Structure 1
Amino acid sequence: MTRIAMLSVHACPLARLGGRDSGGMNVYVRELARQLGRRGIEVDVFTRWREREDPQIQSLGPNARVVHLLSGPIGYYPKMDVYRRLPEFSQRVLDFARDEDRRYDLVHSHYWLSAEVAEVLRSRWRTPVVQMFHTLALVKAQAMDDSMNGEDQVRELAERAAVRTADRIIASSEIELSDLITLYDAEPSKVRVVPLGVDTRLFRPLRQADARAALGRDACEFLILFVGRIEQIKGIDVLLEAIGDLLRGRPDLKRRTCLVVVGGAIDPRIDGSESEKIAELQAMVDAHGIGENVDFVGSLEQPELALYYSAADVCAVPSLTESFGLVALEAMACGTPVVATRVGGLQTVVTSESGVLVPPGDAEALAHAIESLLDDMELRIQLAAGARARAVTFTWDRVADGVEDIYSELLTPARAGISK
């Protein structure tokens, strides 16, 4: 049986979504590991031990599990603190494999923080390495129009090293492939494009009235939804400006429209810095005069999130950059039209049959696109059908097909199954 050491150093696949350092990558690692496990591939996902109540080993399903490893005291660490403890984390992985008498056929690394650990394991185990970045430092810097700070410079160097040394690199879209080649000089023959997937059984169309009733969201005629981490790169400030401008110019909509923001921690006892970000956004909401229209609900479990997608008339994804755009795909799977920015992988997910694309950072264009959908029920119905039809072509089973093919390229008959 093939055995994979999957690395997700800073992001546990079982973490509550929408908080700090938890989002689409966590979902990806969790769902991929589960799919591979169902196919008879053993997967151990190694991640930092961040929550005290978590056991060291948690099952993800048949043949797949999460292994929490100490790397500094248990708790949240900023990324650079995680980076400084990577040698300790690497040793913990090696110790675990030795103590369990486990041999791995391949290392699959996620994000730049895992790349250095992957190289340590490669040198000790003589295994091939597959790398997926999920986001890239240079793309983020371009989107934010920022100069590179110390963390960004360390990250860029780590990404460049991984691009050079990884046996295969997985890109989630053709656009990410292009970024890897043009910005990082990646060898095209090493890169494979495997789009993300969505659980179409969980994220499926429900009758809007039923979803709103279940959530107690009957007060507003129109519901606009934002889902994501409370970070500038997700464009939440641009969305608030757009909603403010829209509702000021359309008093008829102001009385009938709500914006629900899913993500972040509302309770400072859970995450003080996250709650501070939400407080700053609340001040922005008040400045725009839309306090009665906007509701911050914090992070949600996925079944409740699926209800919100179905309850919404429009899902706004105003990100400044996205390597793929899983939120857009989840909304589409629920039959909800998407207004998204024309950046990164969102351009390959959202089509004219499933939503509307606008320039990033353009509050006026975002407001106009949302307004056009709220004013046209027939268009919303048409896009809802197109959204679901497109989303069902993106399944986790297809993701596992693509990843398993990559593993097969690297695991020769003599190499595959050495873990037996």
Structure 2
Amino acid sequence: MRYAHSASLRVALVSEHASPLAELGGPDAGGQNVYVAQLAHHLARRGHDVTVYTRRDGPDLPPEVTTPGRVKVVHVPAGPASRVPKDELITYMPEFGSYLARRWKSEPPDVVHAHFWMSGTAAMIGVRGLGVPVIQTFHALGTVKKRHQGAEDTSPPQRLAIEASIGNSCRRVLATCADEVSELAAMGVERDRVSVVPCGVDPRHFTPADGRARDTSGPRRLVAVGRLVRRKGFDRAIRALAEVPDAELLVAGGPPADLLFAEPEAERLRKVAEDHGVADRFTLLGSVPHGRMPALMSGADLVLSLPDYEPFGIVPIEAMACGTPVVATAVGGHLDTVVDGVTGALVPPAEGGGHDLAEVIRTLLDDPVRLARYGAAGRERVLAHYTWDRVADGVARVYSAVNATPSLSGVVR
């Protein structure tokens, strides 16, 4: 055995499009950026030597940056030093991988953790001939995206085959929820090659705001959060709002509020609200700063998370950390995080229609005692399962296991 569980490891995180330094809110900046940044920070706090490799997407970026938390971020020269749509980056992964191979030849890491499928292609090139184990986290699977988006899926055509190859070539796949394990099995990845460690949330930031009790004389507040894309199901929430009197719906996401006029999905959602007679009770907030999000969620009676599909879904656990009950579609990671009848309610995906959703919302809003109980239980669940400390512990156990026993199997829960 090379390392005990507590031994310090040289960890390389490969995140080709999602830099831990990126400002959130861009078209390709979101949950993966947060995951990589938080994981790197918490691993470094545990004494591991952590380096993140991400593509250089700006001409003024320095070759390397060291964060206050002692995480080194390397900007890899692969392709143009400018922003490139995520789905077009596969062209530059051989160049990315060759850079890693040159860098690691003299001083290889102990473990490589690749994030997203394209990072996996670069990582596998980088470790060729070195015997360094590669852990793969997909964050989203092409099979799921293709199933739900069909002809609108902009992924490169080779994505599905490459994901299956990576899943069967890397040392271990690190999934974020049980549903992903089933998806991987359907792709031909054996279950004993998969470990499960969820995503996390910072419960010191996402915490019930002071003075959380709201003025009950005003409208009941429903909040939904996410990128302004059709699959997030905001239109379903609007249709349900028409059947929930004395309630308002606030949607946070997309560009800043003063630029929403140029956002096609924002215009579509406004039209849906007008068609259903709820335009006066529907507000698009645009992007909300990270620092203001806990107050927004804490001030809601319910947070709605209604995507058609969701690989993990960070919004429900952020809301639960704020002590706010959640109504979520029974898809992906929601099946793990939201306990129906305990921390909120799970509803069928969008094809169930808006009326059933409205009934669930009305029932919960009419029962303040149940809402309070669900909110408290949600906070407790986050503290027990979804803090970044717990996530980092689970990931570090997988790292140590693949270094100690290459054939190790099992699921970390």
TM-score bracket relative to the smaller structure: 0.7 to 0.9
Of residues 343, 354, 373, the one that matches 2:343 is 354
Alpha-carbon distance, 1:34 to partner: 0.7
Question: 1:232 maps to which residue?
Answer: 230
Q: Distance in 2 between matches of 1:407 and 1:366?
A: 42
1:209-254 Cα offsets, whole Å, 9 max, x none, are 58x8xxxx999532211111111222222222222x325xx3xx1x
* Contact 1:341-1:357 at 8 Å conserved across structures: yes
1:316 partner SS: strand
1:349-372 Cα offsets, whole Å, 9 max, x none, are 111210000001032222222222
Q: Does 2:391 align with 1:387?
A: no
* Contact 1:260-1:296 at 8 Å conserved across structures: yes
Question: 1:23 maps to which residue?
Answer: 30
Alpha-carbon distance, 1:319 to partner: 1.2
* Contact 1:266-1:278 at 8 Å conserved across structures: no
Question: 1:223 maps to which residue?
Answer: 221
Of residues 366, 381, 404, the one that matches 2:396 is 404
* Contact 2:116-2:137 at 8 Å conserved across structures: yes
Alpha-carbon distance, 1:148 to partner: 8.2
Q: Distance in 1 between matches of 2:196 and 2:180?
A: 8
Q: Distance in 2 between matches of 1:349 and 1:278?
A: 28
Alignment identity in percent? 35
Of residues 263, 269, 294, the one that matches 1:306 is 294
Question: 2:175 maps to which residue?
Answer: 171
Question: 1:113 maps to which residue?
Answer: 118
* Contact 1:5-1:44 at 8 Å conserved across structures: yes
Question: 2:203 maps to which residue?
Answer: 200
Question: 2:358 maps to which residue?
Answer: 367
Q: Distance in 1 between matches of 2:229 and 2:24?
A: 14
From the superposition, tell whether residues 184 and 317 of structure 1 become closer, same or farther in structure 2 (CA, over 3 Å): same
2:33 partner SS: helix
Question: 1:417 maps to which residue?
Answer: none
1:91-150 Cα offsets, whole Å, 9 max, x none, are 34445557xx75322210011121110111121543110001111111233344x25857
C-alpha RMSD of matched pairs (Å): 2.8
Q: Distance in 2 between matches of 1:61 and 1:389?
A: 30
* Contact 1:226-1:315 at 8 Å conserved across structures: yes
Q: Distance in 2 between matches of 1:53 and 1:221?
A: 48
Q: Distance in 2 between matches of 1:325 and 1:126?
A: 34
Question: 1:104 maps to which residue?
Answer: 109
* Contact 2:101-2:125 at 8 Å conserved across structures: no
From the superposition, tell whether residues 307 and 57 of structure 1 become closer, same or farther in structure 2 (CA, over 3 Å): farther
Q: Distance in 1 between matches of 2:220 and 2:154?
A: 44
Alpha-carbon distance, 1:206 to partner: 1.8
* Contact 2:142-2:155 at 8 Å conserved across structures: no
2:222 partner SS: strand
Of residues 319, 332, 339, the one that matches 2:307 is 319
Q: How many residues get paired?
A: 395
Structure 1 length as normaliser, TM-score?
0.86
Question: 2:252 maps to which residue?
Answer: 262
Give the aligned residue type for 2:346. Answer: L
Q: Distance in 2 between matches of 1:413 and 1:191?
A: 14
1:317-339 Cα offsets, whole Å, 9 max, x none, are 00111222211001001000000
From the superposition, tell whether residues 174 and 259 of structure 1 become closer, same or farther in structure 2 (CA, over 3 Å): same
Q: Does 2:127 align with 1:122?
A: yes
Q: Distance in 1 between matches of 2:239 and 2:156?
A: 28
From the superposition, tell whether residues 14 and 368 of structure 1 become closer, same or farther in structure 2 (CA, over 3 Å): farther
* Contact 1:19-1:299 at 8 Å conserved across structures: no
Give the aligned residue type for 2:28. Answer: D
* Contact 1:18-1:300 at 8 Å conserved across structures: no
Of residues 130, 135, 144, the one that matches 2:140 is 135
From the superposition, tell whether residues 413 and 377 of structure 1 become closer, same or farther in structure 2 (CA, over 3 Å): closer
Alpha-carbon distance, 1:162 to partner: 0.7
Q: Distance in 1 between matches of 2:261 and 2:87?
A: 19
1:47 partner SS: strand
